[in-house]
Amino acid sequence: MTGYDSGLMNPTTPSNGALLSVFEQHYAELVRYIARRTGSMEDARGLAHDTWLRIAERAPDPDAALADPRAYLFTVSHNVAMNHLRRGNWLQGYLAEREQIDGAAPAQAPDVAESAMYRQAVASVEAALAGLPARVRDTYLAHGLHGEKQVDIAARLGLSIDTVKRDIAQATRGIEQALHQWRHTSDKDKTAAARTGRRRSLAALLGVFAVGVTGTAVWQHLQRESMRFQATLATLRGRMLQRSLPDGSELTLDAQSRLDVDYTAARRLTRLHEGAAFFAVQRDETRPFVVQALGVEVTVLGTRFGVEIDGGRGVIVQVESGRVRVDAGGHSAELGAGQSLRISEAGQVLTRVARPAAWRQGELEFDAVPLADALARVARYAPAALRATPAAARLPISGKVRVAEANGWLASLPSVLPVRVERQPDGSIDIAHR
């Protein structure tokens, strides 16, 4: 490289380049400023990273000159911090209100909270059906499940139509009572409860709950599907995503990452296809939480941990709290808080890690990794491609990089490695061995 170019990572917007340069100069001060407002140094690092992303994505405006870039920077960070606090206050109020209104698990999203309640409802209905007289139960099943006409049921069982109707009504009352007991609703509340969307939805699903005592495949299918939740989540370059899952677990997805979520009544499964994700898992002993990535399987009940597919197509598992079991290549290992395991074709390496999934706070750590892998990691946030020649790609590099200061890290590479760094007209960056 012939000289340091402060626009390496953002060549198209001169004003943005100046702002990002100011950001790098005042990073430590900015983090302290945000921490004083949020009361959390960890949140402050993450919000400082959000500030950097907001500036980096700022629309180009060559005619807009900033008289005081530092003041503008701190104004942006103040707005980011205040939005964070407002979201937190709103969420706490919303969850408290929902918990008070209907007792739903407070961390569940309203549109999927019904699914998490079905399993308990199913158990209540099964118990109610099992307690019915055999003839009443069989009559209700024949009509409700198999769709047999009441007149045909009466002829087959040698009963009057009125008796068949009474049996069906008795079964219906027993099931409704079981559901009201499950929902803890009094007789006074039943009319109002019947009008709510959630209870109507639940009643619609359980309209064929009578199959419970038959042990049929239909009922088993309903049990499984009532707990089913599927989604595909993906992020773009420079973008992160935070999402609440139906069981109350929290997911943070790194930039340029993709995963599938597949919840069933038996287990909670996520498949990480690329990038990195951090999971804060709600404990559920009946349904383990499983993450799969490139043949590696991580199983937990309740913990906080990160999983990452690195540039060399290895898998890194880092545990912040609790314990996880990692299965790969026929071998199993248990990790505790502060431990990191890297699984690759070369084998498995267990180390200690002070800050698991530090990318959540906009920091990347490399420990003797090929330069190609480090560039691939940084490239998730870069607006243009980062390339290395084969000779340069193999060079090992270690250290810590703040995403917001990637310009400086790229510029410093010639001082720690025998390489030269050149920016191309399209904004991409080439690194070659010298």
Helix axes 161-183, 134-144, angle to 10 degrees: 90
Residue 307 phi/psi, 5° resolution? -130, 135
Burial of 411 (0-12, 13-18, 19+ CB in 10 A): middle
SS3 annotation, the chain = CCCCCCCCCCCCCHHHHHHHHHHHHCHHHHHHHHHHHHCCHHHHHHHHHHHHHHHHCCCCCCCCCCCCHHHHHHHHHHHHHHHHHHHHHHHHHHHHHHHHHHCCCCCCCHHHHHHHHHHHHHHHHHHHHHCCCHHHHHHHHHHHCCCCCHHHHHHHHCCCHHHHHHHHHHHHHHHHHHHHHHHCCCHHHHHHHHHCHHHHHHHHHHHHHHHHHHCCHHHHHHHHHHCCEEEEEECCCCCCEEEECCCCCEEEECCCCEEEEEECCCCEEEEEEECEEEEECCCCCCCCEEEEECCEEEEECCCEEEEEECCCCCEEEEEEECCEEEEECCEEEEECCCEEEEEECCEEEEEECCCCCHHHHCEEEEEEEEHHHHHHHHCCCCCCCEEECHHHHCCEEEEEEEHHHHHHHHHHHHHHCCEEEEECCCCCEEEEEC
State the pLDDT at residue 57.
63
What is the domain partition of the chain in residue ranges?
14-102, 111-214, 229-358, 360-433
Please tell me the CATH code under which domain 14-102 is placed.
1.10.1740
Neighbouring residues of 129: CB distance < 8 A, sequence distance ≥ 6: 137, 140, 171, 174, 175, 209, 210, 212, 213
Residue 69 phi/psi, 5° resolution? -60, -35
Please tell me the CATH code under which domain 360-433 is placed.
3.55.50.30
State the pLDDT at residue 271.
94
Single out the residue of 365, 356, 352 nearest to residue 403, CA to CA.
Answer: 365
State the pLDDT at residue 105.
37
State the pLDDT at residue 16.
63
State the pLDDT at residue 58.
62
Single out the residue of 329, 365, 334 nearest to residue 350, CA to CA.
Answer: 334
State the pLDDT at residue 270.
95
The pair of three-digit structure tokens given for residue 359, joined into one six-digit string: 């990318």
Tokens 């804060």 locate to 280
Cα(237)–Cα(253) distance, integer angstroms: 12
Quote the pTM value.
Answer: 0.54
CB atoms within 10 A of CB 359: 26
Name the CATH code of domain 111-214 (choices 2.60.120.620, 3.20.20.60, 1.20.1250.20, 1.10.10.10).
1.10.10.10
Q: Please give the average pLDDT of every successive group of 10 residues along the chain, which has 434 residues.
A: 37 56 81 80 76 68 64 80 63 48 39 50 72 84 72 87 88 77 54 45 43 43 59 86 88 92 86 94 90 94 91 88 92 92 86 88 88 90 87 91 85 91 87 90
Q: Class assignment of domain 229-358?
A: mainly beta
**Residue 343 contacts residue 374 (beta carbons within 8 Å):** no
**Residue 359 contacts residue 257 (beta carbons within 8 Å):** no
